[in-house]
Structure 1
């Protein structure tokens, strides 16, 4: 049998071919549809549109926001669970019975800022639970009587700002009848109506009713008949042009908490018109707003009708009042508690102007032109609790008692004036109940405020004192705060102050907040060696917040915060601190906020923060010129591990060394500097991985040493052959066959194989290593020469042969001839049965056996005829390419 080694031709698996063709088809189809040669199916297109067509934002299960989307119709797909639906600022024009169908849970519906022109009952068929409906800024001009029949629980209805106007609908507002028991807020602002009348037979119980920004010129007796028995929280008639007011116009209303006439009357209306308002409201109104009427004066006759009223607040702000005289209020406002006179032009107040306001508790006179407060101006206002005189032009407070008689005053605001004087304490006589005093922003180049030891002596109950920006250069002994034992807040910021004594705050045992920022207190803590720092913070045992920023501090001496055991927030930012010892913070056991940003700190070490590490929640540290070297290693590592909020760390930058200048601190990695002299972790990883790879290579080399040697032998064999002439390799045969066998099969080869081939007719010349290998030559060269000078190589296959490395080498050298000169020279003899599973390891033999290209020895027990056939087939194979010339040469 001819022995062959079949050529292997690669055949790709069928699934790979299918995948390639499928991909090609998909690409071609996509190109066809993209170019429009074939239309995309409408069903697929509709499906894609449905997946993205819902434009609204679903905030949560009950809140859907469809506002500001330029919608022309209410979109489908709004969740049925929606209770709040925003549809404002769109272009909704036609709505129908199906627009809101199914939305049965709606409570709040905003459809303002659209172009809706009409309403019908079936629009809201499913909205039985609706409580708030906003339809302002539309074009509604038709409202049928049953428009709101389905929304019988409606509480708020906003129909303001209709571009087309709904004046006709207001004259007979039957559409409000279904809501008479539930409607609480009705907004009909800027709809172009000229009358406040909303029907003669209608009965509604509103709480808020607004007719602001219309063209109402008259208030007639029966205008509010529909509100008969109602108690309004607010009635807004502002920004109309009311010329006449019937004194009985509010008779049917039981009460009004706030009545707003802001900018509702003609310019500077005559006193009679204000008097009519006073008479009309009688005892019904609690707060009357008469803002922006350009009133130039106030006379007591204006309020004649309020003699027995319960009016509590009167707002006359934003007018043009210039003075308050003896006749301004008279005795008709004895029940008044709040008087708003701010933002006028009041320059003076007579001593008796406020005499009749005996119940007054709050008086707002800020943003006027007052230059002084005469003693006794408030002598009859003993119940006054809050007085606002800020933002005027007051230059001096009388030592005779500008606030004499204000024995109940709690709040006094004198900020943003031009006060220049020495406070002796007489200015605040009678203010024994004062809790808050604000004298901030009283700074003129022509003079300053000076404090003395008795400046605040009458104010023993004061809790809040603001002295910000009054050019207070220093505070000397005795301390002006010595009597303020109940003070909670003291603001001395922005004064350019440079002097404090060690006992300045010593009596302030209740002080919780102290602002000393924007001063020049650095000299108090930076003294020559012969002097000790001024400990001006001692005894502040209740302090919670301390601001010392913007003071130019270059150092913080140890012990300055020792008494601040309850301090929670400390501001030391924007100073000149280059180093701060951790001992400074040792007693701050409750500190939660610390600001050290924008100083000159180069290094933040563990000792600085360790005293406050347990309690600190917020630390501002950026804006310092950090040194990004080994000395910063602890802080840089701490940043990565801490849970303390550090603000915007992107603002933290390195200042040194030069190569790190202006680079982010977060980019600095101390590990690369090998600061502790130890090998960095990543180096250990590289060493470990390298060692492991080396170990694996060594084990692999030891385990495969024969295979490596074997490859070496093959290379050597190929090199040996390459030196021979091609002709010699093909024709210089000295043997018919070279026998490759295991030493374990030596007896069979010598006693069976050799005698059979070398004896008899036409004997074969066989190369056997024991007799034919050249003495003294390396075994490798002997094998190569023997294989090259033999026409065939007979491999005697047995179990021992499988385990022999030299046999494997001989077989490989023989197979090499197939690839060098394309001659099949291998003859396999299977000497004994070998399991197929074991033979599969030896690829070439296994492949030959699978193709039946081998000879099998029948065994010693085999029949004689079987053995004869075996020998005959072997000799036939060996003699196939044996020419007479070869035979003679071999013979």
Structure 2
């Protein structure tokens, strides 16, 4: 079929030259010569293993056509555009190890009786659609194919089936395909050469078998005598009930594992009565065949009569799809105690009453999709205790019936308006494309503790009337609420707690719900949420902290985002913000900077994330937008001209003073300290040492010690200089050798009045430093004092700091200090940090409870 499609495509496009250019090549040890207009076999390297020569004009193959190719195992030479194609004597003698030979679809193929001489290793031979006649089987063409496993003779002109006695020697033959021939009869003795062979697959599909002549079945006997066909395909022969019954009787006792009778004409259909439906005698002849799989699909069976399958006690799969079944009579499935899979899809069932599946004690799956079932009454599934799957998709069910506990229940594409009070217990529940309007039904569905997957896409959820709450111990991990109208629910402040008890939910779909805003704390409780789909809504703003910290994948495509804050996306690994309505002005600067620096994987191409306004930037990708002047005075609102004139003189006067002060501010600060010291020398504050051993613990990365010593210790620590007033604690001097490092850190923090964390790039990479920061912050809640001083050194951005949870919590609560870049500001900074060490700042006891929980979680 692949070859036919390639040829058809080439014909439609008129592109044979293209095929010739692209399909004629050697790739490694594979030679491909499709559509190359070859008239004879080309030369290829002697180590070639695969040789494709289909779709050419090679008219003849003989003993000299191929060089010696000892390693070749696959040869295709089918679908030549000339006919007849002649295969001469010993044509493949130079291919001694050939395993697969494809000569199919050559329209007319002439074979020399010795064409296949020497192919003792051949396993697969394809001779389909070559107008071959029955002589290919009745003569000894295949005598040397001792390893043959698969023989394809479909689509030829074979009229009878009496194989040559040489087939006794083909011990490995497992698959014979004879579909689409003209074999009209098959009686006992015709297949004697196949006796004793355990065929995996014997295909006699579409031969009009037993149709064109009047059969004497008593004289014909058993056509499968002493043959063991694993799978016997007799479909497409258009059998009536009478032919089916006669054949089953004739093969009585023959072991068959899988029997296919597809495309039959059994049954009276819908609207005519000239043919009859199968009855209890139709398959009676198969009682001793050990049949496990039966396919009688694509027919006209209208009614499943009582006891119709009672003789098939070993049956495990019954396929009845694409018939015209409208009635299931009482006890229709009696005798099928071992049946596990029942397919009744694509029929005309309109209702299920009483006990239509009586006798199916072991059934696992029932497929009833695409019928016309509108009424289900009497609890038809009540006795099916082992049932794992019921497929009722694409029916007309309005009221939910009762089901036993199972794994999968499919009810999509029905007409359900409400779930009523039925107790549903299923792991996988599909209710897509119904007419449900009440979001309160979800609360009801989640009363079942085992449900893990719920699909409610494309319903009409627009109101919420709940009578119960969702149970806390539910196991839901996947919830699809896409393509509903949840905006109408949440705009009225209804069911805002719908997700609060879903602590195990990992995937949530809320796309296409007309959402313009997200209610506050709507995702509260989703502590395991990993993937969230909010695509195709109308969201223009995302409040900070709206998403759970566990979220890794977010789809915000096709919304109306104008200028979202990048802090909202901090925890993500994958983000889709394509096809939004970005307004590319200076307010979008932080987002564009973040997009260029972040490690988050951005879905879609750069051209899908573009500006909509202003018009000058329409459809320009965000990565290409240059926003100039966003850090200058253009960001401020322009002053009126009269106010500018009035203030200009004043600004010039102050500007001169500021320039002078800025240039000599270090000297000014020294004068200030000298004067202040002289005035207040009798009023210096004494440092209280009654409570703590140290004034401050200095926490920093070991790699920063030299800088810390020169910049801080020499100017603050009393042991470095007598004029310094503080007793500081730091690792290199004060930690006890041999003591556990974490204990040293803890003792240093609790024995010091303050903890000073010198946050540098090395600090953020040092796990001990981050842990010490966390310990110091926990003391904030223990002593109810602000005991932590954070000093940032170097060019660390806000985004880099916010990646670390302890630091993020501190920054949201307090201000940190930045080491000055200008050397003349160092004295002022040291004075300020000295003041912070001495300062006692109490903490309000009514601090945010959520903040305390966050710190506790980090600790």
> Normalising by the residue count of structure 1, what TM-score does the alignment of the two structures yield?
0.63
CA distance in 1, matches of 2:164, 2:525: 73
1:492 corresponds to 2:448: no
The structure whose RCO (Cα within 8 Å, separation 6+) is larger is 1
Matches within 5 A, 1:255-270: 255-265=228-238, 268-270=239-241
Q: Is the alpha carbon distance of 1:474 and 1:136 closer, same or farther for their aligned partners in structure 2, counting shifts above 3 Å?
A: same
**Partner SS for 1:332:** coil
Match among 347, 362, 367 for residue 368 of structure 1: 347
Match of 1:382 in 2: 361
Q: Is the alpha carbon distance of 1:552 and 1:326 closer, same or farther for their aligned partners in structure 2, counting shifts above 3 Å?
A: same
Match among 323, 344, 354 for residue 333 of structure 2: 354
Match among 430, 437, 442 for residue 473 of structure 1: 437
**Partner SS for 1:305:** helix
1:412 corresponds to 2:390: yes
Match among 518, 522, 547 for residue 556 of structure 1: 518
Deviation, 1:354, is: 1.2
1:200 corresponds to 2:165: yes
**Partner SS for 2:554:** strand
Aligned residues of 2:153 and 2:178 also touching (Cα < 8 A): yes
Aligned residues of 1:487 and 1:508 also touching (Cα < 8 A): no
Deviation, 1:533, is: 7.0
CA distance in 2, matches of 1:505, 1:107: 63
Unmatched 5+ stretches in structure 1? 1-51, 680-891
Match of 2:536 in 1: 574
Match of 1:757 in 2: none
Matches within 5 A, 1:223-302: 223-243=190-210, 244=215, 246-253=220-227, 255-265=228-238, 268-277=239-248, 279-280=250-251, 282-296=253-267, 297-302=277-282
Match of 1:635 in 2: 591
Match of 1:604 in 2: 564
Match of 1:128 in 2: 96
Matches within 5 A, 1:443-592: 443=415, 448-452=416-420, 454-457=421-424, 459=425, 462-476=426-440, 479-500=443-464, 501=466, 505-507=470-472, 509-527=474-492, 534-589=496-551, 591=552
**Partner SS for 2:143:** helix
Match among 321, 324, 339 for residue 345 of structure 1: 324
Match among 56, 68, 71 for residue 90 of structure 1: 56
Aligned residues of 1:484 and 1:508 also touching (Cα < 8 A): no
CA distance in 2, matches of 1:478, 1:533: 10
Q: Could you report, residue by residue, the CA deviation over 1:629-652 in whole angstroms, capped at 9, with x for unpaired residues?
A: 222234334444555142133233
Aligned residues of 1:283 and 1:311 also touching (Cα < 8 A): no
**Partner SS for 1:202:** helix
Q: Is the alpha carbon distance of 1:507 and 1:351 closer, same or farther for their aligned partners in structure 2, counting shifts above 3 Å?
A: farther
1:191 corresponds to 2:156: yes
Aligned residues of 1:198 and 1:223 also touching (Cα < 8 A): yes
Deviation, 1:201, is: 4.3
CA distance in 2, matches of 1:142, 1:569: 63
**Partner SS for 1:302:** coil
CA distance in 1, matches of 2:305, 2:536: 51
Aligned residues of 2:307 and 2:334 also touching (Cα < 8 A): no
Q: Could you report, residue by residue, the CA deviation over 1:69-107 in whole angstroms, capped at 9, with x for unpaired residues?
A: 33322233x343332222222222122334331332211
CA distance in 2, matches of 1:178, 1:505: 72
State the aligned residue count: 594
CA distance in 2, matches of 1:178, 1:402: 59
Q: Could you report, residue by residue, the CA deviation over 1:401-430 in whole angstroms, capped at 9, with x for unpaired residues?
A: 122321111110111111122x4xxx425x
CA distance in 2, matches of 1:232, 1:351: 38
CA RMSD across the alignment: 2.6
Aligned residues of 1:107 and 1:129 also touching (Cα < 8 A): yes
CA distance in 2, matches of 1:64, 1:561: 59
**Partner SS for 1:275:** helix
**Partner SS for 2:201:** strand
Q: Could you report, residue by residue, the CA deviation over 1:136-174 in whole angstroms, capped at 9, with x for unpaired residues?
A: 1115544334322322111100111004x34433321x1
Q: Is the alpha carbon distance of 1:63 and 1:540 closer, same or farther for their aligned partners in structure 2, counting shifts above 3 Å?
A: farther
Deviation, 1:677, is: 4.1
Aligned residues of 1:451 and 1:475 also touching (Cα < 8 A): no
- Moved beyond 6 Å, runs of 4+: 52-55
Deviation, 1:55, is: 6.9
Match of 1:730 in 2: none
Aligned residues of 1:54 and 1:75 also touching (Cα < 8 A): no
**Partner SS for 1:215:** coil
Aligned residues of 1:379 and 1:404 also touching (Cα < 8 A): no
1:675 corresponds to 2:621: no
1:652 corresponds to 2:619: no
Aligned residues of 1:140 and 1:166 also touching (Cα < 8 A): no
Deviation, 1:126, is: 2.6
Match of 1:7 in 2: none
CA distance in 1, matches of 2:249, 2:452: 44
Aligned residues of 1:148 and 1:175 also touching (Cα < 8 A): yes
Matches within 5 A, 1:421-436: 421=399, 423=400, 427-428=401-402, 431-432=404-405, 434-436=406-408
Match among 30, 49, 71 for residue 63 of structure 1: 30
CA distance in 1, matches of 2:360, 2:158: 44
Matches within 5 A, 1:26-41: none
Q: Is the alpha carbon distance of 1:304 and 1:483 closer, same or farther for their aligned partners in structure 2, counting shifts above 3 Å?
A: same
Match of 1:437 in 2: 409
Q: Is the alpha carbon distance of 1:56 and 1:86 closer, same or farther for their aligned partners in structure 2, counting shifts above 3 Å?
A: same
Match among 152, 173, 177 for residue 210 of structure 1: 177
CA distance in 2, matches of 1:365, 1:280: 27
Deviation, 1:557, is: 3.3
Deviation, 1:514, is: 0.6
Aligned residues of 2:307 and 2:335 also touching (Cα < 8 A): no
Match of 1:391 in 2: 370
Match of 1:820 in 2: none
CA distance in 2, matches of 1:635, 1:148: 72
CA distance in 2, matches of 1:493, 1:662: 32
Q: Is the alpha carbon distance of 1:260 and 1:218 closer, same or farther for their aligned partners in structure 2, counting shifts above 3 Å?
A: same
Deviation, 1:175, is: 2.3
Match among 171, 179, 193 for residue 145 of structure 2: 179
Deviation, 1:504, is: 5.5
> Normalising by the residue count of structure 2, what TM-score does the alignment of the two structures yield?
0.65
CA distance in 2, matches of 1:557, 1:151: 75
Q: Which has the larger radius of gyration?
A: 1
Match of 2:380 in 1: 402
1:661 corresponds to 2:603: no
Q: Is the alpha carbon distance of 1:507 and 1:353 closer, same or farther for their aligned partners in structure 2, counting shifts above 3 Å?
A: farther
Aligned residues of 2:234 and 2:260 also touching (Cα < 8 A): yes
